[in-house]
Amino acid sequence: MSQTTGTIMSKHVKPFTPEKAKEIIMCLQQPAVFYNMVFDWPAQHWTAKHLSEVLHGKQIRFRMGTKSTDSAPQFETACNYVEATLEEFLYWNCDQSSISGAFRDYDHSKFWAYADYKYFVSLFEDKTDIFQDVIWSDFGFPGRNGQESTLWIGSLGAHTPCHLDTYGCNLVFQVQGRKRWHLFPPEDTPFLYPTRIPYEESSVFSKINVVNPDLKRFPQFRKARRHMVTLSPGQVLFVPRHWWHYVESIDPVTVSINSWIELEEDHQARVEEAITRMLVCALKTAENPHNTRAWLNPTELEETSHEVNCHYLNGAISAFFNHYGTSEVVETQALRTNREYTIKEELNVHNHVEVEQIGSHNSSSETVKQEAASPFGLGLVPVIPSSQEPSSERGGIFENDGEEFVSKNGKSFGKLPNTKRQRMMSESENAVVEQVASDRTGALSQTFVSTDDLLDCLVNPQVTRIVAQLLIQGKSV
């Protein structure tokens, strides 16, 4: 075989087998970009123009947001919505000043449009053959295709507020245009000032506009470790469980396809979400029973009664027991809780072991083995922390240019060095208290405790996790 032929063939060989890709996804603890894994997917040709022909005449809901530089997040509850076809969207996106129809009230220079969270099963309900154009089985999930996927189509500036997904991990295939991702690790949750208002099951929002943060109001955000990457067509981003993310379209038209991968931890997460739903609905409905749209995300169809929420919670707990069996529950939960309480000591032990390894005569061979176990290379590039400090100016944030693809820490699967993880966890504990105090400084009028203030404490992810564990342990006796 000639060298030229070998080079051509190598471009058409995927860097990972499905089994290896799944192993990486299930073990990796930092975001990373897969390359050359979807070059043969029919969905790689799904431009907005192509989809407008496939969905000819179908009405789609678009979220309309403003191209502003406000320091407050642009939550979905504050956006307007229009029903339009993709043809109308593309025509409006060409900045036609004399446009009529659904977009006529939205100046293209001032607004962006986003057809987000479009589930394939609803969008292509009469064209199910198209599901096969998406082949998640290449990542080790047999049978997973478009039926378990979601479509996102947006204009320049369209974005999703910073949030974390409580269920699963995420695979995102960029089809057309580019999107910039701002990501933050789970340990930084207190620095992101989490809130469940607006309420959406499985989404914890941040009070911060991470591209233009108000650092006077949210000073702890300075400690958050921003990771940035620009996702281009043909690339697939892996977002690990509970990583915060803010996603913005930076090209005139963007098209993305994603799939949330179920994880073992989701069984307890569903109990936590049921607790959250019950508390949010009870308190917010009691506060103002006639204005649910102010706090309920548009993705949620309607608020539910206390009776329905009780049924939902019992169902989540029953499902947990059905999965694990009552005999394993106490031990499983005790181990998990014990790990959370003793993780500092555990990290100290690891640090001690690492020091001993460095000082040993076998340190060179150990390092070689660890580097050999790393999945990173030309086919998988880690998303590393940004070198820039959080800025109050939108233009002051720059991304990693992607040239450096070797893990900074030199460890397999991109785990943060233990010393840094320990320091950040300690800071996170302090931030839990400091974040509550930060909103109370200044005028005396700010000492008033609102329903939302109370909910921010009651349904803080750390609190609902403990409550869920106590409920499960209590029912296992």
Question: For residue range 340-358, what is the model confidence (pLDDT) as tens digits?
Answer: 433 333 333 333 333 333 3
372, part of any domain: no
Tell me: do 289 and 244 sit in the same domain: no
**406 domain residue, yes or no:** no
**Is 408 among the domain residues?**
no
The whole-number pLDDT of residue 403 equals 38
- pLDDT-derived band at 79, boundaries 50, 70, 90: very high
- pLDDT of 96: 66
90-115 confidence digits (pLDDT tens): 999 997 656 778 999 999 999 999 99
Q: Are residues 253 and 291 in the same domain?
A: no
Of residues 444 and 30, the one with the higher pLDDT is 30
**pLDDT value of position 476:** 76
Length of the chain: 477
- Answer with the one of 199, 234, 262 that is the final residue of a domain: 262
Its domain, for residue 471, covers 278-341+456-476
Residue 294 lies in a domain: yes
Select from 229, 262, 295 the last residue of a domain: 262
Residue from 134, 141, 180 nearest 158 by CA: 180
- The stretch 323-338 carries a mean pLDDT of 58
Same structural domain, 258 and 282: no
C-alpha–C-alpha distance, residues 122 and 268, integer Å: 28
Asked whether residue 288 falls in the same domain as residue 243, the answer is no
Read out DSSP for 141-177?
-TT-SGGG-EEEEEETT-EEEEEEESSSEEEEEEEES
Residue 11 is predicted with a pLDDT of 61
What sign does the CA torsion over 234, 235, 236, 237 have?
negative
CATH number reported for the structural domain that contains residue 113 in this entry: 2.60.120.650
- For residues 79 and 228, state if they share a domain: yes
327 and 460 together in one domain = yes
Are 182 and 227 in the same domain?
yes
| Count of C-beta atoms within a 10 Å radius of residue 218 | 23
For the chain, give the mean pLDDT: 81
373-399 tens-digit pLDDT:
689 999 999 999 987 544 444 343 334
Question: Is 440 inside a domain boundary?
Answer: no
Q: How confident is the model at residue 322 (pLDDT cuts 50, 70, 90)?
A: very high
Mean pLDDT, rounded, for 181-195: 97
pLDDT band at 7 (very low <50, low <70, confident <90, very high): very low
Q: Residue 336: which pLDDT band, with cuts at 50, 70 and 90?
A: low
Rounded to the nearest 10 degrees, how much is the dihedral formed by the CA atoms of 265, 271, 276, 278?
Answer: 160
pLDDT of 69 > 80? The answer is yes
Backbone angles phi, psi at 367, to 5 degrees: -65, -40
Residue 300 burial (CB < 10 Å; 0-12/13-18/19+)?
A: middle
Residue 430, domain member (yes or no)? no
Q: How many CB atoms lie within 10 A of CB 81?
A: 13
Same domain, yes or no: 305 and 258: no
Tokens of 415: 């785990």
Residue 178 and residue 48 in one domain: yes
Instruction: Fill in the DSSP letter of residue 385.
Output: B
Give CA separation, 350 vs 152, 341, 343, 354, in Å.
Answer: 42, 16, 10, 6
**Does residue 405 fall inside a structural domain?**
no
How far apart CA 179 and CA 249 sit, in angstroms, is 5
Whether 249 and 292 map to the same domain: the answer is no
> pLDDT value at position 231?
98
Residue 157 counted as domain residue: yes
> Number of structural domains, the chain?
2
pTM for the predicted model, two decimal places: 0.79
23 and 164 part of one domain: yes
Q: Is the pLDDT of residue 190 over 60?
A: yes
CB atoms within 10 A of CB 100: 9
Per DSSP, what are the bridge partners of residue 61? 83
Residues 19-25: contacts with CB within 8 Å, 24+ apart? Answer: 19/140, 20/140, 20/375, 21/138, 21/139, 21/140, 22/139, 22/140, 22/141, 23/140, 24/238, 24/375, 24/380, 24/413, 25/139, 25/140, 25/169, 25/171, 25/238, 25/261
Q: 305 or 371: which carries more pLDDT confidence?
A: 305
Please check whether residue 333 is in contact with residue 321, taking contact to mean a CB–CB distance below 8 angstroms.
Answer: no
What residue has token string 């599901």?
131
Strands (E), 207-338: 227-231, 236-239, 244-249, 253-261
Answer with the one of 262, 287, 322 that is the final residue of a domain. 262
Same domain for 185 and 308, yes or no, is no
Q: What is the pLDDT of residue 299?
A: 85
> How far apart, in whole angstroms, are the C-alpha atoms of residue 33 and residue 125?
31
